[in-house]
Structure 1
Amino acid sequence: MRRKPFIRPSVRLVLLAGAAFAPALAAAQEATVVDDAIVVTAQKREQKLQDIGLSVSAVGGAALDAMGRQDVTALAGQVPSLQVSQYSPTITVFNIRGVSQNDFADSQEAPIAFYNDEVYVSALGAISGQMFDLERVEILRGPQGTLFGRNATGGLVQAITKKPTSTFEGFGTLTVGSYGQIATEGAVSGPLSDTVRARLALTTNHHGGYIENRIGRDIGNSRFFGGRLQVEADVGTNGTLLVKLQGLRNKDETSGGPYTHVGAGFNEDRLGYALGPNEDFWGTCGGCDAFGYRDSDDDPFTADFDRTGYFDRKFWSVTARYEHDFGGMQLTSITDYQDLKKRYAEDSDMSPLPIFHYDTAQDLYQLSQELRLAGDSDRLTWLAGIYGLKIKTENAYQIDGSAILGFIENYGGTQKTDSVAVFGQAEYKASDQISLIIGGRYSWDWKKYDYAHAESGVTDFVFNSSTNPDLAKQTFKNWSGKIELDYHPVDDVLLYVSANRGTKSGGFGIQAFAPIDPTTLPYDQEVLTNYEGGFKAEFADRMVTLNGSVFHYDYKDYQAFSLDGLSQFVTNRPAKVTGFEGELILRPATGLMLSAFFAHLDTKVKNIRLPAGRVTDREMPQAPEWSVGGMLRYAVPVGPGSLAFQTDWKYDSKQYFSTFNAPIDLEDSHLVGNVRVSFTTEDDRWVIAAFANNVTDKEYRIYNLDLGAVLGLSNQTYARPRWIGGSVTYNF
């Protein structure tokens, strides 16, 4: 059995205080820098981060490397107001300032959009694995609908890849780590001719399962391959064409359902709670589920799965980006195609008995086109464009309870989405100190759903445009907008106030058991209006950076996800979020960087109907009241190079995993930290590093699904245990 780490409360307080006052924007180390300033493309043009009246964080390539090849969830430890849930690579859910969509149906889109080089990725199952050979990752908090679209209600995460270079260069990294991990990442870039450049990047990640299965194969392994080829060519004297081909492959992994079993009862609201070791709620045995099973120890990384979880994915995309400078006006065209095939299976009951097995299959394609013009003069900077999107996703789900429960449910179908939008934004500099920004977007969404349900081979429900013409075809029209006032009272200080309106298209839910009320399948679009004020400031010759913001969300028709029984529901409810956040960076001496961030959230979803019928207000899921983080990095010359020490820590107060706020969904506050030591040669050719992620081996959950009232258990996913490793990088 793994030994549980012990940290005295007094030591925890010292670590937390050090994180809070140790002067997370430091995560932006070695992002794109111009004149010692971090440059981002948060408004579809290159700007200095400190000159933008948005709450933005940029995590640079060096900071991403320092994460020790963690998955995308590691971003949550670097950025304020960000939480990431990835219970297996099958679905990745971002939460920014409490806004997320926790429905695990493959056909759903999220209110936190994910972009790769300005291309929207609609499929939640296509996000994992794209974090290689990156220039930086940008995290934009608050509605971004004006420039980025209908599904950036709460913000967005954008990966910016490294582009082909006009000089020959490259790198290769080999990482070894816990559970037999062997991972690689590398790229080669350079000119093919005077007018053509190319970059090829490859990555792999293989390791064994980190959940020991006592009666079968271990769960949670990785067999991942990824590649990206970019070719850039000069077209005439003022044009550039970039073609990018990307592929991701997870091959027959055992990463499906990396759960920990816990017996559960339920209260008067039919909400689950964890059973004590001697509590015989179901009359089966103390601490047992409804079928008489209880895990034999308290270790969340050991289990008795009668079935091995399964995950297999093939994703590829091709993007063509053309840019042309007309002199004072620039044309940008981005054409993209994506294809995803994904198969997933899990042992949902997490026991030696074949009680409840869950399988999904998804075949998706997406086609998008963006065309825009941009221009600027001494006082006016403007942008206008049109965007089109087409998605077709075929989804199949199966719940197999035939061996013991006596049923097998097969359901799913095809969802088609067509969307068109026009958008524009203009910034007018009234003076050297005052700027006004106004923008707007209007979107049309057409969705069509063809769904069927069968129990034990007998079709008992059909939902399509023939059987339910007024429900199975939905049209959504709405507008996003922005107005912002920026004020520079002195150099290196920005004050801003803004109002931003974002929207997320409506859609259709997935229900697993009949009878099904067809009126409960469609749900409406949501609208979020953010009123925000903030400041950005640099002092002492940019040795001190201090940013802060305060915001209030007026959230209409929030798409609240809930699991009632074993069926998934999305209902529209009013909600609100009020909060503030801050970031501080100190560079007090050569080689020393200290950073900290904090975030406070007050969230409420109104009129939630609990499974037993009571209507009440609830907190938003994955929205801790307080988050505090910090990082220290110190580099000193040592012999023929430099030695760097880095540690980062993040504290989250308690939070729920569902809109119901079930007792079993409450995760206690926790503090998690990482440590890295590296040596870089004087010519920057070699980098040798050792790292420990989750250095205290903290046990904490990143996901929970309450099945207490129906199966007497809960699906819990814990963050990976302490992960120790080392890497060698060669740059050329």
Structure 2
Amino acid sequence: MKSRFYLSCAMVATLGGVATTVQAQEIEEIVVTAQKRAENAQDVPIAISALSGDALSDKNVGDAGDLVKMFPALSVKQQGTINNGLSIRGVGTQNFHVTAQPAVGQYLDEVSMVTPFTSKLGLYDMERVEVLRGPQNTLFGRNTTGGAVNYISRKPDVTKGVNGYAKLGYGRFDQLSAEGALGLPISETVAIRVAGKYERRDGAFNNLVAGDKLGGYKNYGARASLAWEPDSATKVLLSGHVGYFRSTPVAYRGVGLLAADGVSACPLLATGGMAQFEGTNDCLATSKGVGLVNPSTAKWRDVYAAQRMTGQIDFEGGLLNIQHDFGPVSLTLISGYDVTKVLYQQDFAGMPYFQSAVGQDAKYKVFSQEARLASNGDGPIKWIVGGYYSHENDDLMTIIQNNRTPAPVIAVPSVLLDQKVNILSAYGQVNADLSGRLHLEVGLRYTHDKRQGVRTPFSMAGTSTGLVGGVPFGYDTILTKNTVLGLLDGVTTTCAIGVLVCAGPSDDVQQVLSKVGGKVTLSYDLADDVMGYASYSRGFKSGSFDVRAQAIYLGTAANPVGPETLDAYEVGLKSTLLGRRLQINGAVFYYDWQGLQAFVNSAAGPAFVNVPKTEIYGAEIELQANLPADFSVNGGVSYVHSEIKDDGGYSLVSNGAPVAGAPKWTATGTLSKAIYFGDDSKATLSVTGRYTSTQQFDFADAAFAKLDSTFFVDLFAGYEFGPDGRYSVSATVDNLTGVKTCSPISNNGPLTGTNGCLPNEGVALYRANIGIKF
């Protein structure tokens, strides 16, 4: 692995001799709207990283999960087939249920994307992406504790003629992609832009049960926008979007919990890490009606999937953005409406015989309205005030299809939740120049969050007889809400421990949260292009209702998970040096996290808990440099120490344990070389490295839940030619050295008899692209 990495770097360095430019160029300024104003990212006293749309395209950043290639301290908390929440500096959401509230807010053109499922949708025709670290509870509409990710799409432009691009790609496992955009003016005041993307790929994994391929997907979407600028003071944007994700059954690798004697604990569990999942072993799992079974396989991409599975996301909606400049102040009105539908089932045993699967059927309908006034001009005091309202109407269901307990029946418990969420908030921020170099920012947001609904438990037989010998129902029968209600029509038996077929009783649930969050920041200009800052901020997020299907049999579904609060202290430095050819930014931070929301598995079944107190501290540094001979380097390193300080007495949460999914060290780095052939032709070569240290996937620091460190190497080679670089060809290789990794790791012993995880492909993924822009 190391030899390939050094060889790639040497190739880039050797090609440097033919470059036509000797002097390093200035670093391009990136304008962001992290504080609802257009500002140079280096002038914003927030730990923020931003990437242009072109950079996203070059790095094959296809969805939110791919952003980890580019930014330190950013990771994905993959909770299931299609549930990908983001984590920043160790703060994320460890909960795969459909009621889980994301800790990191995601926004598309300033409208909140409420669910973590939208992270799987494709990114295309982006102007830029901004990643803000730490609580952002002053200027952003939904409550966040970890940070915010802003996706800013390209807009129609009345000042441009016909413009756009088209791009085709083909890669390993028959991966085919096509994307493009077209913008054109309709008149001097009206322009439109349409954009879309389609991507599909065959499965990379071999199912040893049915002989089919696992892990394939389709991801496609489109966006249409209309801009109207009747005069120089008014801008109106109307935009609609759709996005769809479809996956074939996913791969799941499992290791049995029992040693070869069928009684003792599997010794691999005490070792943890990747060793428990690679190759064959003698560890066994128990399967109802079959006995002891060995789920291990010799080859990484050979897996067992005994149950048919599905993963579907539909995302449809639109927004209206109206801006008017009144001179001293500007008014912005943003209306958003989105409908997200989710349907999936996941077999999380990795066994040759069906053990247990979770299914979820959900529909979210969200309307939001934001209005804000902002001062104009360059005076010593700038301010923003605004209000935000969001109404959410959700219809959610979770099921567990369990072939293991309770014996000897096969039952399918489920929980339905119809909930409404109303969020009303008012916010304001003042930026004051206290002197020529000292600046103060103060921001506050008051939020009233009310969620209420009706939660109803159900349970039905999992086979035609309810016994092991009966004909099992397929997921088409038991997964959707309407079919479940049809099977239970007329059932009058109320649910209780040990009852196989039951309906109700329903209970009214409600949570009301009223809190004040915000921040205070002092920044000081140490030099013309060097700024230091210190800040305190408070973020919070709402709780959620319990929809654990298994809780019907456990009698433990009484209490929902409560809200959480995070107090953040940060000191940072931003600098642009050497004639704007070098940027070095750094920060140190401390987080006091109260009421961390956690989902844990225990011998008694799954549970939602609020961990009373958690501490996180760390540091990060990012560097970007344009070097002589058209070389450039950028990257960053992050250190995060997380620790449970008060476990609340929960059996599977331990004082001193790290937060799940929070590696101590993350690092990214890219070395690039540009080679110019005249004014219109350019070749670019780059190598990217990504390191993630050992991390934990439970809250008790158990060995079985440890994931080994990884180091990935990606390569890019591109060539642009024709007038203004209109045409392009490129090739990429992700995971050059074929690193194998597997996450999240979880012990599902009470349900499946296995410890398991979702594996990556474990091979190099190559891809070629051709494109045109105009």
TM over 0.5: yes
Partner of 2:634: 595
Aligned residue identity for 1:61: G
Aligned residue identity for 1:261: G
Alignment of 1:182-581 (within 5 A): 182-214=176-208, 215-251=210-246, 253-254=247-248, 256-265=249-258, 273=269, 286-291=282-287, 292-295=292-295, 297-377=297-377, 378-401=379-402, 406-456=410-460, 459-460=494-495, 472-513=509-550, 514-516=552-554, 520-565=558-603, 566-581=605-620
Alignment of 1:104-143 (within 5 A): 104-143=96-135
Partner of 1:692: 733
Q: 1:427 to 1:343 in 2, by over 3 A?
A: same
Give, in angstroms, the shift of residue 677 of structure 1.
0.4
Q: SS of the counterpart of 2:527?
A: coil
Give, in angstroms, the shift of residue 352 of structure 1.
2.7
Q: Could you tell me which of 148, 155, 163 is aligned with 2:155?
A: 163
1: distance between equivalents of 2:183 and 2:270?
54
| Structure whose CA Rg is larger | 2
Q: 1:260 to 1:114 in 2, by over 3 A?
A: same
Q: 1:12 to 1:708 in 2, by over 3 A?
A: farther
Partner of 1:24: none
- Structure whose residues are more often strand by fraction: 1
Give, in angstroms, the shift of residue 85 of structure 1.
3.3
Q: Deviations over 1:312-365 (max 9, x none)?
A: 222101100000100121000010001112211222322232222322111110
Alignment of 1:644-723 (within 5 A): 644-683=684-723, 684-721=725-762, 722-723=764-765
Partner of 2:44: 52
Q: 1:622 to 1:125 in 2, by over 3 A?
A: same
Q: SS of the counterpart of 1:75?
A: helix
2: distance between equivalents of 1:482 and 1:611?
33
What percentage of residue pairs aligned between the two structures are identical? 25
Aligned residue identity for 2:170: V
Aligned residue identity for 1:47: E
Q: SS of the counterpart of 1:618?
A: coil
1: distance between equivalents of 2:63 and 2:522?
37
Q: SS of the counterpart of 1:290?
A: strand
2: distance between equivalents of 1:141 and 1:511?
31
Give, in angstroms, the shift of residue 289 of structure 1.
1.6
Q: SS of the counterpart of 1:90?
A: coil
Aligned residue identity for 2:621: G
Q: SS of the counterpart of 1:340?
A: strand
Q: Deviations over 1:545-575 (max 9, x none)?
A: 1100001011122222322344241324211
Q: 1:581 to 1:655 in 2, by over 3 A?
A: same
1: distance between equivalents of 2:46 and 2:294?
50
Q: Deviations over 1:653-681 (max 9, x none)?
A: 10012223332221111111210100111
Q: 1:518 to 1:585 in 2, by over 3 A?
A: same
Q: Deviations over 1:80-136 (max 9, x none)?
A: 210013466621210101101110011212111111111111111123224111111
Q: Deviations over 1:196-238 (max 9, x none)?
A: 1111001000110112213243111112220000111124552
More displaced 10-residue stretch of structure 1: 141-150 or 709-718: 709-718
Q: Could you tell me which of 643, 663, 667 is aligned with 1:628?
A: 667
Conservation of the 8 A alpha-carbon contact between 1:272 and 1:708: no
Q: 1:698 to 1:419 in 2, by over 3 A?
A: same
Partner of 1:583: 622
Q: Deviations over 1:598-640 (max 9, x none)?
A: 1111111233368757853321112111122211010112476
Q: Deviations over 1:464-490 (max 9, x none)?
A: 999766xx2111010111111110021
Q: 1:133 to 1:631 in 2, by over 3 A?
A: same
Q: 1:518 to 1:476 in 2, by over 3 A?
A: farther
Aligned residue identity for 1:577: I
Q: 1:54 to 1:272 in 2, by over 3 A?
A: farther
Q: SS of the counterpart of 2:173?
A: helix
Conservation of the 8 A alpha-carbon contact between 1:150 and 1:503: no
Aligned residue identity for 1:184: A
Aligned residue identity for 2:199: N
Q: Which runs of 5+ in 2 are unaligned?
A: 11-24, 462-492
2: distance between equivalents of 1:100 and 1:17?
35
Aligned residue identity for 1:410: S
Give, in angstroms, the shift of residue 59 of structure 1.
1.7
Query: How many pairs align?
Result: 701
2: distance between equivalents of 1:294 and 1:136?
48
1: distance between equivalents of 2:68 and 2:60?
14
Give, in angstroms, the shift of residue 41 of structure 1.
0.8
Aligned residue identity for 1:213: N
Q: SS of the counterpart of 1:62?
A: helix
Q: SS of the counterpart of 1:308?
A: coil
2: distance between equivalents of 1:380 and 1:577?
34
2: distance between equivalents of 1:438 and 1:448?
33
Q: 1:40 to 1:205 in 2, by over 3 A?
A: same
Matched, 1:76 2:68: yes
More displaced 10-residue stretch of structure 1: 326-335 or 564-573: 564-573
Q: 1:428 to 1:295 in 2, by over 3 A?
A: same
Q: SS of the counterpart of 1:273?
A: helix
Aligned residue identity for 2:110: E
Conservation of the 8 A alpha-carbon contact between 2:86 and 2:92: yes
Give, in angstroms, the shift of residue 44 of structure 1.
1.0
Aligned residue identity for 1:549: A
Q: Deviations over 1:161-180 (max 9, x none)?
A: 01112321010000000110
Q: Which runs of 5+ in 1 are unaligned?
A: 1-6, 19-32
2: distance between equivalents of 1:623 and 1:157?
18
Conservation of the 8 A alpha-carbon contact between 1:384 and 1:424: yes
Q: Deviations over 1:436-491 (max 9, x none)?
A: 1011000001111322223336541699999766xx21110101111111100210
More displaced 10-residue stretch of structure 1: 145-154 or 99-108: 145-154
Conservation of the 8 A alpha-carbon contact between 1:680 and 1:686: yes
Give, in angstroms, the shift of residue 706 of structure 1.
1.8
Give, in angstroms, the shift of residue 265 of structure 1.
5.0
Give, in angstroms, the shift of residue 416 of structure 1.
1.7
Q: Deviations over 1:575-600 (max 9, x none)?
A: 11110000111111252111231111
Aligned residue identity for 1:545: Q
2: distance between equivalents of 1:205 and 1:402?
35
Conservation of the 8 A alpha-carbon contact between 1:449 and 1:464: no
Q: Deviations over 1:384-408 (max 9, x none)?
A: 0000011122111222235976222
Q: 1:591 to 1:607 in 2, by over 3 A?
A: same
Q: 1:298 to 1:606 in 2, by over 3 A?
A: farther
Q: SS of the counterpart of 1:718?
A: coil
Q: SS of the counterpart of 2:647?
A: strand
Q: 1:123 to 1:438 in 2, by over 3 A?
A: same
2: distance between equivalents of 1:494 and 1:671?
33
More displaced 10-residue stretch of structure 1: 313-322 or 634-643: 634-643
Aligned residue identity for 1:288: L
Aligned residue identity for 2:531: L
2: distance between equivalents of 1:189 and 1:569?
48
Q: 1:274 to 1:456 in 2, by over 3 A?
A: farther
Q: 1:257 to 1:594 in 2, by over 3 A?
A: same
Give, in angstroms, the shift of residue 309 of structure 1.
2.3
